[in-house]
Each structure stands twice: as C-alpha cells, then as structure tokens.
Amino acid sequence: MNKRYFRNISIVTICSLLLLAGVQSYWVYRMYKDSVTDFTRRVESATYKSIYKAFRMDAIPGITAAEQINIDLDRFALYFEPNLLELDALQPYRVEVVDAATQRTMMVHNSHVKIDKPLTTSIVIDDDSLFVLCLAIEIPYAQFWSRMWGIILSSVAIIVVLGVVLVYLIRTMFRQKSLEQMRRDFTHNITHELKTPISVAIAATDALRNFSADSDAERRSRYLGMVEQQLSQLSTMVERILSVSVEGQQESYNPEPLDIVQTLFALKKDMEINSDRLLTIRIISPEKVVISADKFHIQNMLATILDNAVKYSAEHPVVTAEVVQRDKFVLLSISDNGCGIAHEHLKHIFEKFYRVPNGERHTTRGYGLGLYYARKVAEMHNGEITAHSRVGIGTTITIKLPADGAKD
C-alpha cells in the first residue's frame, strides 16, 4: 500500500463526510421549509374561513350583491383567532383593509402589534375586487427549530460518530502500514545479522578443511576461535530475540534479592572488555542497593539499555548510570552522549519492532526489540520506564522499580 493509495482513501473519506453533512443539512432545511409552508397553508385556511363568516354571513353567492357586504375587522377577529387556535397557528398578527384602486388603507386591526419578518398574504374580499384584506402574522421560527432540535442533534451525532469511525479506520490502516514496514525492516535486519556470523563461521571452517590450516596449530586455533566467537554472537542474537517471549508469560517471573549496583558494575566490566571502541561508563550510586527482582530479565534489560547507549553515542561514548533509592522505589537512569531522538519518534521507541528511521540509526544494527523488551520487563516488575532525549545531545532512559518486587 503506497502513499497514493492512502491519499486516495483520505480524499474519499473526507468527501464522504462532506457529502453526508450536505445531505443531512439539506434534509433539515427541507423539513424547515415544509414547516413554514404548512404554517402558511393553515393561516390562509383560517383567513378564508373567517372572511366568509365575518363579511359574507348574509351574502348568498349569485344572489346577494357584493356591495351589501359588511366589512368589520373586529367581527373578523372574533372568527379568525379561534380558527388559528383550532389549526395550531395562533400567533401575533395585524390585519388591514386596503382600497384596491387607490391602495389606501381603509381600516386596521391590531395596529399596535409589531411583527419582525412576518408572513404576509393578501385576499380580495368582495366579488368586484374593490377591497383587499392584507394580513401580516408572525412566523414561529423558534417553535419550528425547537421541534427539530432532536433531529438536528441526531444528525450531528451520526455525522460525528461516522467521522470518528472513519478517522479511526484510516489511523488503523496507517498503523498497519507502519507495522508492516517495521516487520519488513525486522526481517531484513535479522536476516543480515544472522547471516553475517554464519558466513564467517562457514568461511573459517572452509579454510580449515581446504587450505591446510588444520596442520598449522596457530592458524587452526585462530580459525576455531573465529568460529567460536561467531557462534557465541549468533547464540546471543537468538537469546535476545527469544527473550521477547516475556510478553504474557508471568510464570517466567522468579524474584530474588538482586544488587542493582553490583549488576551494573559487572555489565560495565564486560562491555569495556568486549568493546572495540574507547568508552567511558560512569556509575553513580550508593555502595549497595538490593531489590527483589527477576535476575535474568533485569540483567538482560540493563545490558540492552547500556548496549543501546553505547551504539547510538558519539565516537567516544560516555554513558552515565545513576541509581537512587526513594522510599519503596529505586530509580535507575542511564544517559548517553549520542545523537538523540526526535520528539515525534520518542513516544514510539518502546513499541515492538520500532526503529527510528532517521540519521545514523540506519547504519546501526538492531531489531527494534530491545526497548520493547525493556518495557515488558519493567511492567513485569510493576515498574515503569520512560525516555527523555534531545537531538544532538543525548538520551536518558529512566527505570522505576519497586524495591520489594511487589506485583499487582
């Protein structure tokens, strides 16, 4: 799945949300317009009924002449208001009779009533179209919207829920893409890492077999030493990969008294002996700090963090390990003078298979499992692990462990 594929998915998702919002908005608008139309129909119906009863009660169509019609707006109001009430359309109104020829107002009812944005309608009263009744009535906008709040809120809720779901799906797809990329990197790295010692061991064995190295004791010893070294390196790689099996296997937790300070000094000595670079490891601590912990996993965790500190440091690595005991907890901080980690990557470094893709880290071997394993070990001991880093200055890994090894 390439960038173009994800871009197209994002565009389709955004367009779908916009289309849905547009359809919902149009639907609400149509409901509002239908409410206004229905209100207009009810008002006109009440007006016609009231005109006939108030002005033409004694008039018989086809027999009684129009000039015999008695126009009385007070009488009109006596019929009009009950008709509005019956049709659920009673609102403040103003009505007047206008001379159709001169457009002069003949009489007015409710002249004191002020109406904002009224519904207006004009109806001819008499058969000769001499007089027109002009009605202005307030449209109950607030009433319409109050009736539609439930629909509006449900529509907004549907759009929001669908938006959240679609965004979650896109994020999941991007995360799957990242996981897929990390797995590919892991496969590539581990294949290269495992292939190198195997190739060296095969070459040394081939030299012993085909180039008479077996007859020379010194050469034989040197080649066998190379084979032993490469097999030892291979064994270490396999052990580190398998150590990730700590996840979900609480039965592997075997606490015992462990001196953190002594463990750090032992790891320091081993790293200084086996390192091909000049490195400085400083340990700041009390003489002895004993905790209850799983010795195997704690040693592997500290070895992994120290190894990372050396790998990602400058040409002359300077690593500082500080142990502080506070009440029932022990804080262990390991700092280096390396290239540092950018903020956007720092929050992911404890994830499985994750490796920072920038800078010199491309040239540094690894599987993206070390800090993930360290986090699992810390959680196994009911502790926590955090990281702080500044690009170009270095990184500090802080581990907080309970001194008594208590677990939830």
> Given this model, what pLDDT does residue 362 score?
44
Three-state DSSP at 149 gives: helix
Helix, strand, coil proportions of the chain in percent (round to 5)?
Answer: 55, 20, 25
Write down the pTM of the prediction: 0.48
Neighbours of 357 (CB within 10 A): 11
Question: For residues 267 and 281, what is the distance between their CA atoms, to the nearest angstrom?
Answer: 10
Distance CA 148, CA 28 (A): 8
Q: What pLDDT score does 146 carry?
A: 78
CA distances from 373 to 181, 206, 216, 248, 298 (A): 20, 37, 45, 12, 10
Tokens 């953190």 correspond to 260
- Using DSSP bridges, classify how beta strands 280-284 and 318-326 pair: parallel, antiparallel or unpaired: parallel
Dist. CA 292–CA 175, nearest whole Å = 37
- Residue that the structure tokens 């009390």 belong to: 286
> Angle between the 3-55 and 141-210 helix axes, to the nearest 10 degrees?
170
Secondary-structure class of domain 249-402 per CATH: alpha beta
- On the 0-12 / 13-18 / 19+ scale of CB atoms within 10 A, 146 is exposed
Specify the 3-state DSSP secondary structure of 171. Answer: helix
Looking at residue 202, what is its pLDDT? 80
Residue 404 to residue 383: CA distance in whole angstroms: 11
What was the pLDDT predicted at 62?
47
Please tell me the predicted confidence (pLDDT) of residue 399.
93
| CB within 8 Å of 231: residues ≥ 6 apart | 197, 201
State the CB neighbour count (10 A cutoff) for residue 365.
Answer: 11
- Sheet harboring 118-124: ordered strands across? 105-109, 93-99, 131-138, 118-124
Where residue 334 falls (left for φ over 0; alpha for ψ -120 to 50; beta otherwise) is beta
What own/partner pairs with CB < 8 Å and gap ≥ 24 does 171-179 have? 173/1, 173/6, 173/9, 174/6, 177/1, 177/6, 179/353
Instruction: Report the topology of domain 145-244.
Output: Helix Hairpins (1.10.287)
Q: What is the rounded distance in angstroms from the CA atom of residue 185 to the CA atom of residue 321? A: 30
pLDDT along the chain (408 residues), means of 10: 66 79 83 88 90 66 51 88 89 90 88 84 82 90 79 80 78 69 64 71 76 69 77 68 53 80 89 78 89 87 87 84 88 90 84 66 58 87 91 90 68
The reported pLDDT for the residue numbered 89 is: 87
**271 with 310: CB under 8 angstroms?**
yes
Q: Any idea which residue has 């109806």 for tokens? A: 123
Predicted pLDDT of residue 357: 65
pLDDT at residue 248, rounded to an integer: 47
pLDDT of residue 125: 82
Cα angle at 204 between 198 and 208, to 5 degrees? 140
185 close to 368: Cβ distance less than 8 angstroms: yes
Q: Where in the chain is the domain with CATH 1.10.287?
A: 145-244
The per-residue pLDDT for 364 is 56
CA-CA-CA-CA torsion for 247, 252, 256, 261, nearest 10 degrees? -40
